[in-house]
Structure 1
Amino acid sequence: MIFEVWAPKATAVEVDVLGGRRPMEQRPGGWWRADVPEAGHGTRYAYVVDGGGPYPDPRSRRQPEGIFGPSAVYDHGHFTWSDERWTGRDLRGSVIYELHVGTFTQEGTFEAAIERLGHLSELCVDFVEIMPVAPVPGGRNWGYDGVDLYAVNETYGGPDGLKSFVDACHREGIGVILDVVYNHLGPSGNFLHPFGPYFGGFEGSYWGEAVNLDGPGSDEVRRYFIENALQWLRDYHIDGLRLDAVHALHDKRATHLLAELSAEVDTLACAVGRPLSLIAESDLNDPRMVRSLDAGGLGMTAQWNDDVHHALHTAVSGETHGYYEDFSGLRALAKVLTHGVFHDGGHSTFRERAHGSPYTGVPGHRLVACVQNHDQVGNRPAGDRLPMPALKLGAGLLLTSPFTPMLFMGEEWGARTPFPFFSDHVEPELRDTEGGRREKEFDGFGYAWEAPNPSDEQTFLNAKLDWGELKEEAHWSLLCWYRDLIALRKALPELSDPRFDRVRVTYDREGGDWLVMWRGESVCVAVNFSGETVTLPVRVSTVLLAADDNVTAGPDGLRLPPQSLAICRATQDPDT
């Protein structure tokens, strides 16, 4: 067994393995190497750098005793795959389902999640996006406090558990997207500093020290993250990565890390013979994010689109505080449905400056949109979700829109369980101050901050989905609505058409009571947001799907009961 580690400034490095420390040989480029023939799969080890440590391997593939314990040798060849016929999934035309492994089931493991894949298959989603799985302090966490980025949280089932989950998803015809965090590491258990210049020496964001992507020694740091991404796609058969908060990547090089990563992933896709997707979470509203490399872009397959969420949320909930302020009224919703984003260079009240750029020529499938996700639910103090009537309208618009739709676990049946922020830091100082740090992060967002203690185990337990809710008629009815919407989206080409120039929107400019979105020449989606019945001048030939049994179409137009939505074949635009 060959042990290798990068420690360019060290004068002596040892590997602590099989009951003793063995000196490592210095190699070119700051690498150290030792051959220990008797070590193999499962062997525990750690590194001692200039007498300090022992520390886990920065590229540890397994941490069986958690983030403060030794690493373990993990041989990818020991797992037997059964997905040899899997050819991958293209993001175009797909529906994504986001979940958190620890709260998706009561058990909170990959094994338990596998048992629920039949539900997702019947829902007809194309991808499962799982929140970060890197090891974290304690037994519960959203995942964004991860360290040992090459390893998998043992609480969930470790590396074999993740592989088994991916394998099972592929048997169900579902692709897997993994959420990864490259803009910072967690505050606890981060032992990269003794090894090399992994960090830039300044606060890169609210969440911690900036990663060194463009300073001295950054060549190997960039490789650390790029090879991590390739590991998931190659060795774990993952189909795509969601890159957390890429606007917090500080990189002034001529070739940005994202562009370099995109080129590497394209090369790997050719080698493995299946499409591989990169989805960026970006707060910049910059279309270069999703433009191809040869067009001067960063080459991301897609990006999250908060503008769509904000416009939908405001329309169905009526909230206009904080960053929702600019999205009040139906003008914002009409704009995102026809232009992709709302902030395309105009003034942002929340930011107090101009923000964004037009997404001219960018197809809708490159923008991942949602009514709810982990951030937008979890960023609320209590982690409360939208009520069922709001979800029914929001899902009706989302799943008939030009975007790549994404659902958040439990949304499809109107889960009542909250999803607040939770963590389990070992250090008393971090544990006791976590709630205060969270409140400070959202200062100015317009919330009266009354949140459960994120360090309290009950906060985590309350977030676990209650699958028993599906036995209740109201929850089952909403699930059927979501199933029907996805089925109709896949049956009608107009509903997945990503071209914004094929979308027309008419809306009530005075009371904000109704909106009609035309998809192609003859399919319309009509929504009544108000508490009163409205009749719209739409000549309907067929009502394809309706959220209320009392929707009727006659010579006077389309009659929509309060808070209802209908998808129709129609021959007359309300403009006429």
Structure 2
Amino acid sequence: MQFEVWAPEAERMTLHCAGAAHALERDPARAGWWTGGAEAGDGTRYGFAVDDGPVLPDPRSRRQPDGPDGLSAVVDHGRYAWRAEWAGRGLPGAVLYELHVGTYTPEGTLDAAAARLEHLVELGVTHVELMPLCPFPGRHGWGYEGVSLWAVHEPYGGPEALKRFVDRAHELGLGVVLDVVHNHLGPSGNYLPAFGPYFTDTHHTPWGSAVNLDAPGSDEVRAYFLGSALAWLRDYRIDGLRLDAVHALADTRACHFLEELSTAVDALAEEVGRPLFLIAESDLNDPRVITSRAEGGLGVHAQWNDDFHHAVHTALTGEDQGYYADFARAPLAAVAKTLTGGFFHDGTYSSFRGRGHGRPLDRTRVSAHRLLGYSQTHDQVGNRALGDRLSMSLSPGLLACAAALTVTGPFTPMLFMGEEWAAGTPWQFFTDHTDPELAEAVRRGRRREFAAHGWAEEDVPDPQDPATRDRSCLDWSEPEGGHHARVLDWYRRLIALRHAYADLSDPDLSDVKVAFDEEARWLAFRRGDVRVALNVGKESAAVPLGTRSVRVLAAWEPVDGPGEDGLLHLPGESCVVLLQQ
């Protein structure tokens, strides 16, 4: 078997494979690359030594059986016999479900998660979005400090388990999206600097030196991240990638890394004959991210829309701290602006940032499905001190309003696992660092962060305590009764309506019409013949529909149609979906 590694500054490279050492030779055709052969097959352990240094895992390792610090293992992707005949499932018309493998079930494995996929089919979602799967220290964590960007976290089940998960999802008609992190690698188990200039001090990020996308040596570094992204889509038959915090990808080159990546993904889609897509997490509010390359954009197919989340969150909770402040001044107006324009900050002043922020979307060029809408995510729940979900502070009626805005709104809906039944379990920040100093630094840093906002340190959960992860696991007995079952039924009905009525997946943002009353606390919007009305206040509200020719498709509380005056009397903390006759 042939092995290769990029190490441009090395004087010597040695392959250690199955207990034997093999000197590698420079590749005359590729500067900085070393190659050599050794007897190996699926599962064979190996590593590389740079200039007689310690044996390190392969930067392009396909498997890390003993974790980030151990030897790599050969993976023969051809050994897996795929069962599902899968033509792919694109993003238009999709409903996504964000899932963390380690807490979706108590077992915390890909196989255990696969056994629960029928629940998502019954719910009506179309795609499962898996949080990061690359190896990280210990057993439990969020996954955003991963290393070995071709490999699957072994405690989740490793490469074969991911293939079984994807295969099962495809058999059930579900697409699979994977969250990948290109903006940094974990502090533990990151051996890339020993091999080459994977990082640069030209730019700095919240995690330290930036990934080298534009400094000397960056051609191969970009190829490293491109190769990893394409491997998930090709070798594991993943349908799309969610790109973590693309605003932290510092790149001054004329062809931005995201443009290069979207070009490569579109080419692979043509090659494999199924739709593939990229979803960015972007803090920029820059339409160029999701504008096609032909029109001068970067060609990413969609992005998360935090502005929609912030507007909905403030309208329902009344919170006004931090980045919620601008939205909380007139929360229903903020919801209305995002429903019709996508971004709230589209060049307006952001008090949180102390400057103007964003740029308007051209609604004639950017389809609404290119923005993901959500009322909860792992970030927006887990980055709270106690990891408390909306269900821990809002009434079931207000949760129903959040669902109505998310599922019947113009954007591609995304749910966070457990949201669909108003899960009573928190989702907290947890780690399992094996380095005692790093573990203590994370513990102190987390508590210090929230102490600055008035929290007592002892009230902030210890990320390293196994109980913090255990508390964050979903309780699968909850959906069987009480308000949990009622909320679950509501989500199922709304998603079914979205699939049944073409107006609810119309990508034209300019066709969304909104009316609201901040004081009376109601908001109504129209999408073609479908009308949605919400009352987020405690008292009954009279919502002027201007017509009596409607029928109720779904209502959280029993409601009569509008009277002779065209007023719909909507109970407090409730919502209704109507069809124009």
Please point out which of 533, 538, 549 is paired with 1:531: 538
Correspondence 1:455-466 to 2 at 5 A: 455-466=464-475
What is the TM-score of this pair, normalised by structure 1? 0.96
Q: Give me the whole-angstrom Cα distance separating, in 2, the residues matched to 1:99 and 1:176.
A: 11
Contact 1:90 1:275 in 2 (8 A): yes
The 8 Å contact of residues 290 and 301 in structure 2, kept in 1 or not, is answered as yes
Measured after TM superposition, the shift of residue 174 of structure 1 is: 0.4
Structure 1 pair 203–462 and aligned structure 2 pair: CA distance change class (3 A): farther
Contact kept? 2:375, 2:402, Cα under 8 Å: yes
Tell me the TM-score normalized by structure 2. 0.95
Residue 454, structure 1, aligned to residue 455, structure 2? no
- 1:238-296 per-position Cα deviation (integer Å, ceiling 9, x unaligned): 00000000000011000000000111111100010000010000000000000111111
Shift, 1:446, TM fit: 8.3
Report the CA distance between 1:442 and its aligned residue: 6.7
Distance 1:536 1:6 in 2: 65
Select the residue among 400, 406, 412 that pairs with 1:392: 400
Q: Percent identical across equivalent pairs?
A: 55
CA separation of 1:132/1:265 partners in 2, compared to 1, >3 Å: closer, same or farther? same
Code of the aligned partner of 1:368: L
Residue 267 in structure 1 maps to residue 267 in structure 2: yes
Distance 1:479 1:207 in 2: 39
* Match of residue 81 from structure 1: 82
Amino acid at match of 1:567: V
Deviations 1:431-472 (A, max 9, x none): 012133235667877877742011111101110000011122
Tell me how far apart the structure 1 counterparts of residues 213 and 498 of structure 2 sit (CA, whole Å). Answer: 41
Aligned partner letter, 1:302: A
**Alpha-carbon distance in structure 1 between the residues aligned to 2:107 and 2:560:** 42
Query: How many angstroms does 1:570 deviate by?
Result: 4.0
> How far, CA to CA, are the matches of 1:386 and 1:5 in structure 2?
48
Contact 1:323 1:445 in 2 (8 A): no
Residues 266-415 of structure 1 aligned to structure 2 (within 5 Å): 266-328=266-328, 329-361=331-363, 362-387=366-391, 388-415=396-423
Distance 2:451 2:369 in 1: 33
Matched, 1:34 2:66: no
442 and 235 in structure 1: CA distance in 2 versus 1, 3 angstrom threshold: farther
Matches of 1:392 and 1:555 in 2, distance apart? 28
The one-letter code sitting in structure 1 at the alignment partner of 2:573 is: Q
Q: Decide whether the 8 Å contact of 1:62 with 1:151 is kept in 2.
A: yes
* Cα deviation, residue 219, structure 1: 0.5
Question: Separation in 1 of the partners of 2:455 and 2:294?
Answer: 44
The change in CA–CA distance for 1:411 and 1:446 in structure 2 (over 3 A counts) is farther
State the Cα distance separating 1:48 from its structure 2 match. 0.6
The reply on whether 1:417 has 2:417 as its aligned counterpart is no
1:468 and 2:477 correspond:
yes
Q: State the partner residue of 1:566.
A: 576
Q: How far does residue 543 in structure 1 lie from its aligned partner after superposition? A: 1.1
Alpha-carbon distance between aligned partners in 2 of 1:90 and 1:48, rounded to the nearest angstrom: 43
Q: Is the contact between residue 185 and residue 208 of structure 1 (CA under 8 Å) also seen in structure 2?
A: no
Q: Indicate how the Cα distance of structure 1 residues 445 and 82 shifts in structure 2: closer, same or farther if over 3 A, else same.
A: farther
Question: Match of 1:22?
Answer: 22
SS of the residue aligned with 1:52?
coil
With over 3 angstroms needed to count, the CA separation of the structure-2 counterparts of 1:400 and 1:49, relative to structure 1, is same
Q: Shift in Å at residue 401 of structure 1?
A: 0.8
The amino acid across from 2:369 in the alignment is: H
Aligned-partner SS, 2:241? strand
Shift of 1:555: 2.5
Please tell me the residue identity of whatever aligns with 1:535: A
Q: Write the distance in 2 (CA, Å) between the matches of 1:418 and 1:512.
A: 32
2:509 is aligned, of 467, 490, 500, to: 500
| 1:90-128: CA deviation from partner (whole Å, max 9, x where unpaired) | 101110000000000011111101111110001110100
SS at match of 2:155: coil
Matches within 5 A, 1:79-228: 79-83=80-84, 85-201=85-201, 204-228=204-228
Residue of structure 1 equivalent to 2:496: 487
**Aligned-pair CA distance for 1:189:** 0.5
Q: Is the Cα contact below 8 Å between 2:397 and 2:556 reproduced in 1?
A: no
- Letter of the 2:574 partner, please give it: S
| 1:197-254 deviation digits (Å, cap 9, x = unpaired) | 0001366322333100101111100000000000000010000000000000011000
Amino acid at match of 1:96: L
Preserved contact between residue 290 and residue 299 of structure 2 (Cα < 8 Å): yes
Are 2:398 and 2:574, in contact at CA under 8 Å, matched by a contact in 1? no
Q: In the superposition, relative to structure 1, how do residues 102 and 203 fare at CA in structure 2: closer, same or farther (>3 Å)? A: farther
**Which amino acid in structure 1 is aligned with residue 569 of structure 2?**
R
SS at structure 1 position matched to 2:390 = coil
RMSD: 1.5
Alpha-carbon distance change, 512 to 341 in structure 1, aligned in 2, over 3 angstroms: farther
The alignment partner of 2:194 has SS state of: coil
C-alpha deviations, 1:372-404, integer Å up to 9, x for none? 000000111100000233321111111111100
Distance 2:178 2:452 in 1: 31
Count of residues in Structure 1 that have an aligned counterpart in Structure 2: 567
Aligned partners of 1:534 and 1:560 also within 8 Å: yes
